[in-house]
Amino acid sequence: MTYSFPAAQLALQAQDQDPYGGLASPKFKSTGWFRLDKTGGRDFLVTPSGNGYVALGVNHAGALEEGVQRKELPARLRSWNMNNLGYGGPQEHEGSMPYFAAIATAATEKHRSAPRSGQRDSYMFPDVFDPVWKAELESVIAAACRRHRENRNLIGYFWTDTPTWYLAKTRALRATDWVTEIRLPPAGAPGRRRYAEFLAGRYAGRLEDLNSFYALSISRMSELETTGLTHVAIGRHVVREDHEIFLAMIAREYYETAGKAQRKHDPNHLVFGERFLAGDHPESVLKAAAPYIDAVSVQPGDRYTELYPPSTVFPEDEINALHSVTGKPVLICDHAISYPTTEHPKTIFEQAGSEREAARLTQAFLQQAMAKPYILGYLRCQYIDRPASFGRGLRQGLVNADGAPRELLVEAYSKAFAEWLRLARR
């Protein structure tokens, strides 16, 4: 059964006959691909047909098993005022409904476990200065682009999901960080050499300070190339500053490699970059990413630790920073507010006390999002219930495992999305 709500249907009936689900207005120039434009002080996605478009969808619907539910997914989403498949949707619907593609450009996602031999979900901070890694990344991006680049329904690409960036927060979570992982390998590794060169330049004429801060006993800078750098007074302010500067160097190398490969293998589609976790996007990292992305994407919350803003509250400061630092529009690329049930007391994303409360908080979140003229849209995390790995509890969907909608949540999304579409047409 497909649930729909009268208030929501008003928005759908007012839409033009744009095959991509675009708005009747505003109108823009048609280019044959999804792109960005701006009018009336508001940022818009633009459909290949030239219509304004607000991306409102749901992710991970590819978890649906084959059958009637999967076949009827586009019709059900449209009845809820959702106009795209998000990312991770069923491949067979990519020819009939807009969608996003996701490419894991580095294994730095927050949800990954500590490295263990043979463990597929281990995290890893790659040596971004290594030509071998660069070639591997380009190969991964090229493969993804071969599948998607001719599809006019593709809105754009995401890169790594909720990457680890802030050094202090990463150490709190991982007991290591990207800079540490670059400087630990033996002499000869490309990143290790670049780090030694960085220190030699940073401490030119200050060998005594270098020895003191980094627990070394070298007599000349050239010895940095072969000297172990495992002992660092990480608590010293000057060392922290060194690490922040080198982190920015890592980010520039990383985004340049990914960005150039992305444009080379698919010059027509939008790039939304990494799906930053709200609260983990240092300014230096955002500045490094900005030249290579069209818009910045963010996931608010997911119950990682108290170091990050919860999903139950719109992260005003973090969202504003993403926009102001990059100068780019923002897409809320993954978000949910869950609630405990008798069968599943533990769920991913922060919990409200009940479905009714989750619906109320969701509607409030969406109203704050749509008030930002630079926000391009919103993607809900999870269409259907499925278990989460690593003991994190249920990935709670808009529908139960049997396909029955969570009616209060669906109504909240449907009505809020109808309001967003009306606002966009003004």
Of all residues in the chain, the percent with pLDDT exceeding 90 is: 82
What is the per-residue pLDDT for 87? Answer: 98
Q: Is the pLDDT of residue 420 over 70?
A: yes
Q: How many CB atoms lie within 10 A of CB 267?
A: 10
Q: Is the pLDDT of residue 238 over 50?
A: yes
What confidence category does residue 391 fall into, taking pLDDT thresholds of 50, 70 and 90? low
Q: Is the pLDDT of residue 389 over 80?
A: no
Under 8 Å CB-to-CB from 229, ≥6 apart: which residues? 183, 184, 192, 195, 196, 214, 216
What is the per-residue pLDDT for 229? Answer: 81
Distance, CA of 12 to CA of 345 (rounded, Å) = 36
Amino acid at 197: E
Over residues 41-56, mean pLDDT: 98
Q: Is the pLDDT of residue 289 over 80?
A: yes
Residue 34, phi then psi, degrees to nearest 5: -65, 140
CB 44 within 8 A of CB 37: yes
Residue with tokens 């290579």: 292
What is the per-residue pLDDT for 3? Answer: 44
Angle at 287 between CA 284 and CA 288, to 5 degrees: 85
Over residues 328-346, mean pLDDT: 96
What is the per-residue pLDDT for 390? Answer: 58
What is the per-residue pLDDT for 122? Answer: 87
When comparing pLDDT for 235 and 283, which is higher? 283
What is the per-residue pLDDT for 223? Answer: 94
What confidence category does residue 6 fall into, taking pLDDT thresholds of 50, 70 and 90? very low
Of all residues in the chain, the percent with pLDDT exceeding 70 is: 94
pLDDT in tens, 168-190: 999 988 989 999 999 888 888 99
Highest CATH level, class, for 6-184+230-424: alpha beta
0.75 exceeded by pTM: yes
CA quadruple 106, 122, 301, 424: dihedral, nearest 10: 30
Per-residue tokens: 312:
């139950």
User: Which of 29-43, 216-230, 305-319 holds the top average pLDDT?
Assistant: 29-43
What is the per-residue pLDDT for 114? Answer: 78
Per-residue tokens: 417:
């999305």
Per-residue tokens: 359:
């619906």
User: Which of 54-68, 180-194, 220-234 holds the top average pLDDT?
Assistant: 54-68
Distance, CA of 158 to CA of 103 (rounded, Å) = 6
Distance, CA of 174 to CA of 375 (rounded, Å) = 32
